[in-house]
Amino acid sequence: MIKTSATRDVVTTLVVAALLITIMPQLIGTYTLTVLVVYGMLGLSLGLIWGFGGILCFGQAAYFGLGAYTYAIAAVNFGESTLPMLLAVLVPALFAAILGAMMFYGRLTDVYLGVITLVVTLILFKFINSTAGPQYKIGDARLGGFNGIPGFQTLNVPGRPNDYIWGDAYFYFCAIALVIVYLLVTWLLRSSFGRIAVGIRENETRIALMGYDVAARKTVLFAIGAAIAGLSGALFANWAEIVTPGLFSLGQSAEIIIWCIVGGLGTRFGPVIGAAGLAYLKFLLGQQSMIDNTLIIGLILVFFVLFLPKGILPAVTDIWRVSFGRRKRRGARTRRGRGGRQHG
């Protein structure tokens, strides 16, 4: 049973991904699509730790920015992209592991966790903003304050610094990276670690009374989320070819939270769709100046909280189930319903 449903899960993911990767470039330019994919991965990072681990982080943008800056700084220094990509995953993960350990072993309540992650993001933003002077440099890389870091080595074929991966090829690279991360998240959630994480989300005290070290597990999950956010940050840096302190902004953090709510918390695909959809909407709105686009995003959030609190994906699967699922197998329905909520 478990084996077959896992296989079906992987097959579904691959088929949907293949369809999207083939069809979407016919509709939207690959340059825009690339950043939607990158945001999708960022949404997935928070969707994992919040939707499945119950950790609401107000500073997921901090790891995104940290990944982007780590990449940029390392790329300037090394002139090759392979090691910088790895560092862009490891540095945010390490940072999150230290911060997470302090918060979770300190037995902070959710509210304080939110406040601390928010403050850390603010501090990073302020700090990076204040590094305009020439004394702020790491190796050959000047941090550049509010001007950011431009002109770093972008993604190249490993070991061949002059073979750049760009344009359409870069879109496919990012899309495949997202599929791989998505499958890894799927595997993680099906593993014992993932199931225990969901248990922690449901009832921390009970899981502790079963003998699990809740603080350690939350720290690890938090770091995994940061690693994914860091990777998406590095991909973003390659796309934008510049990193600026705006990556660390609270506005960015808030958007990630909105993506998750709109897309569907507690699902894997929801935050990806929420991120890509809302980012595309913002892109379209950015091309007109009649209505302020933060206002529209705000209205969408209010609409969802009031009318579709579970988000798009659960709503769509519910409709699907009601219209097509009923006649088939009554007994199997509750089972699939559950699976849909946890793993969808």
Partner 1 sequence: MAETVLETHGLTMRFGGVVASDHVDFRLEARELRCLIGPNGAGKSTFFKCISGLLTPTSGHVFMRGEEVTGWMPHQIASLGVGIKTQTPNVMDQLDVFENIWLAARRFHDVAEANRKAEDVIDRLALGPIARTNLGELAHGERQRVELGLVTVGDPWLVLLDEPAAGMSAQDVERMTDIIHELTRTAAVVIVEHDMQFIRSIAQKVTVFHQGAVLMEDHVDAVMSDPTVRNVYLGKKA
Residue 338 binding partner 1, by CB under 8 A: yes
Residue 203 binding partner 1, by CB under 8 A: yes
Q: Give the separation between CA 57 and CA 218, rounded to whole angstroms.
A: 12
- Indicate the SS3 state at residue 150: strand
Residues near partner 1 (CB under 8 A), total: 21
Least CB distance from residue 221 to partner 1, whole Å? 16
Tokens matching residue 260: 């998750």
Residues 6 or more apart whose Cβ sits within 8 Å of residue 166: 154, 155
Least CB distance from residue 192 to partner 1, whole Å? 6
> Nearer Cβ to partner 1, position 210 or 305?
210
Cα 76-156-18 angle, rounded to 5 deg: 130
Residue 254 binding partner 1, by CB under 8 A: no
State the chain's maximal CA–CA distance in angstroms.
70
Residue 7 binding partner 1, by CB under 8 A: no
Question: In 3D, which of 200, 264, 219, 222 has the Cα closest to residue 57?
Answer: 222
Least CB distance from residue 198 to partner 1, whole Å? 7
Residue 210 binding partner 1, by CB under 8 A: yes
The residue from 38, 68, 116, 207 that contacts partner 1 (CB under 8 A) is 207
Using CB under 8 A, which of the segments 70-78, 123-131, 209-217, 222-230 binds partner 1?
A: 209-217
Site string for partner 1, 306-335 (x = CB under 8 A): ----------------------------xx
DSSP string, 35-72: HHHHHHHHHHHHIIIIIIT----TTHHHHHHHHHHHHH
CA distances from 115 to 59, 121, 153, 327 (A): 9, 10, 36, 48
Least CB distance from residue 209 to partner 1, whole Å? 5
Q: Give the separation between CA 159 and CA 287, rounded to whole angstroms.
A: 40
Residue 33 binding partner 1, by CB under 8 A: no
- Indicate the SS3 state at residue 79: coil
Q: Kindly report the number of other CB atoms within 10 A of residue 244's CB atom.
A: 21
> Nearer Cβ to partner 1, position 25 or 199?
199
The residue from 208, 284, 291, 302 that contacts partner 1 (CB under 8 A) is 208
Using CB under 8 A, which of the segments 131-139, 142-150, 188-196, 224-232 binds partner 1?
A: 188-196
Residue 192 binding partner 1, by CB under 8 A: yes
Cα 21-256-205 angle, rounded to 5 deg: 115
Site string for partner 1, 211-240 (x = CB under 8 A): xxxx--------------------------
Least CB distance from residue 215 to partner 1, whole Å? 8
**Where do contacts with partner 1 occur on this chain (CB under 8 A)?**
192, 195-196, 198-199, 202-203, 205-214, 334-335, 338, 341
